[in-house]
Amino acid sequence: MKEKQIPLTVINPQAAGIDVGSRTHFVAIGQEQKDVKSFGVYAEDLTALTQWLIENDITTVAMESTGSYWQNLFVELINKGLDVVLTNGKFTKNINRKKTDVLDCQWIQKMHSLGLLPSSFLPDHSTENLRTFCRHRTNMIQQRADSIHKMAKFLKYLNFRLDVVVRDVTGLTGLKIIDDICNGNLDPKSLAAHRHHNCKKSEVEIAKALVSNQRADYLFGLKQEYDRYQFYSAKILECDQEIGKFLDTTIRHKEKVVDQIPDSKYFKRQNKNAIKGIDLNIVSYQYFDEVDLLSIPGVSHSTVLTIMSEIGPDGFNKFPTAQHFASWLKLAPNNKISGGRILSNRIPQGSNRLKIALRNAANAVGNLKDADLAKFFRKIAFKKGRQTAINATARKIAVILWNMITKRQPYMPKNNYLFLDQKRRIVSRMRKQIADLGLNPNELGFSRENRDKIAAQITSDFQTISLR
């Protein structure tokens, strides 16, 4: 008996699939052996690959985002006018079959022709350039942090207990002392004289902590790591200058030039890793066309820089709703429903730099006292714990960002996030006060007609505020 086959509609008839490799790209324009061809990774090979696709009337191409091998090929295909779908490898590997490069590219071509491969998010060219600068800067900050840890280690080996008397060994006091040590000065009293007036410890106590064993091997290691620290600090400063030039050029070439200056955010501190020479409060306001992202509680200057470099102002428009944006960030629960029942609602695994930045912002919200989002954070943390509160607050910040940038809405915080028992106590207290005054609820405007009028007026006022 013949098995009944369910036909599938071909969505992309002129489709190709590419299995991207480090040294060879396998391309399939059909399911026959003659429809598969391999190409190298040199520039002339990429040109030949693209020309072969055009000669065979291919209009759309699908390939996996494998490492960094896809980037040059992607640019070449886009420049020749082909529609390219860059998809995650997890969408092409859910099948038990023999694995070869030829079968892989044929399977990608087949799935793409049926319209079963979703496209990954890709920022615009300007955002991609800024992302390269910022990610390179982040990597150098990590390298510098590694040199700081090793400097602290060599200081302990030398019995320089600088970590005990100063909060940060690379602060105003610590750096001067380390620089003097690397220049050959090992006298505790003269080293303690570099004490900054903000340091809580006295010079006498600092001098006690700077009596060393003067081992030459540890001193050599300390000098090496200090030179490394200075090298990365200089390179980070160069990167900051390049980012500043790029942002200045991008803002000047925008169609709408913003001359207004947002309110100063004096209450938002910048750490030592903050970008130098750039006022992100003003730059981000101009970059996002009069949208003040720093007005959101918990959102710091580093968070704003991550938003600018990872998604950009145009990237938000690629998501139709705020829920789609939160789902892409993997901040929304992945509900599994069967038989009308929710089997699980866990947050999906995986993260990106923007999700990490929003989670850090949410964690900072949890340490605030008077912010409206802090009330929401404590409400969730009381019920389900701090980690759940961080995810929920990060999702709320993501929704706020999407609405602010796509709908051009200013941030309007809610006044109160109250527990149900708190609301009940307030209502009970109000009822007692009304009874003590001997008033009728209808006299206070609590009748149905008055309630409808008040609700209509509130709706009208809210719409007016949103349009401003």
Task: Tell me the per-residue pLDDT of 373-414, one tens digit each, with 9 for 90 and over.
Answer: 888 899 889 888 999 999 999 999 999 999 999 998 888 876
Supply the pLDDT for residue 465.
Answer: 41
* pLDDT (0 to 100) of residue 464: 47
CB atoms within 10 A of CB 297: 23
What average pLDDT does the chain have? 86
Q: What angle do CA 86, 87, 93 make, to 5 degrees?
A: 145
- pLDDT value at residue 1: 44
Which is it for the CA torsion 41, 47, 51, 54, positive or negative?
Answer: positive
What pLDDT shows up at residue 383?
86
Spatial separation of the C-alpha atoms in residues 402 and 378, rounded to whole Å: 23
Cα–Cα distance for residue pair 393/375, rounded to 1 Å? 10
Collect the ranges in the chain with pLDDT lower than 50.
1, 462-468
Contact by Cβ (8 Å): 313, 338: no
Radius of gyration of the chain from Cα atoms? 30
224: its two tokens: 């090496």
Q: What pLDDT, on a 0 to 100 scale, did the predictor assign at position 136?
A: 95
H runs (alpha helix) in 166-311: 172-182, 188-192, 203-209, 216-252, 280-287, 301-310
